[in-house]
Amino acid sequence: MALELPQQIQAIDTAPDFLQEPLSKLVSIPEVSITLMTASHQDGWSLAINAMQDDSRAIDSRLYLRDGHIKRIRRACIVHVEDRNGSLGLLVLLEATPTQAYLLTEFPANEEGVSLALETSAIKFLTKRRSLTSGTIQQLRQIVRKRRQK
C-alpha cells in the first residue's frame, strides 16, 4: 500500500476522537516538529493496523473493535517526531481505550519504517505491552528537555 506524502501537522480538530487528546499534548511540546506519516483517504490521519501487511495471514481478533454494530480493524496513526537535534522516533498511536502510544526509535521515517512500526506496535499490543499515551508523551518531553541542555 502506498502512503500519501508525509505532512506537517497543523490543526488537529479534524483528527479522529482517539487521536484528539494525544495529539493536543504532543503539539504542546515546545521546539518539536511533528510530521504525519499515515495520512489516508479514509480519515486523513490513520491506517488500519494491518494496512501494510503484504500477506494473507489471519488477523488476530484482538485487533478488531466494535464500532456501534460493526466490527472493524483498529486504526493507528504514526507521526515522526523531531527536535532541533534530529529524529526522536516514530510515535504510533493505536486505537484502544485508552489510546496506546509506542515510541519506536529504531525505524526510519519512510514507508518501510511505517510498515515496521505498524507491525511492531500490533505485536506489543497483542502481547499486553501496553503503553499509556500520557507516559509516552511525558517521556518525549523529558528527552527533548535533556537534548536542549546539550
Question: Which of 69, 71, 115 minimizes the C-alpha distance to 90?
Answer: 115
Range of the domain at 25: 16-51+60-149
In a domain, 10, yes or no: no
Query: What pLDDT, in 10s, does the model give residues 34-65?
Result: 999 998 888 889 999 887 666 677 788 888 88
CA nearest neighbour of 6 among 108, 85, 88? 108
Mean pLDDT of 8-19: 88
75 vs 15, 34, 78, 80, 91, CA distance in Å?
12, 19, 10, 17, 14
Q: What is the pLDDT of residue 1?
A: 47
Res 114: pLDDT: 94
Is 66 part of any domain?
yes
* pLDDT value at residue 130: 75
Question: By percentage, how much of the chain surpasses pLDDT 70?
Answer: 93
Q: How many domains does the chain have?
A: 1
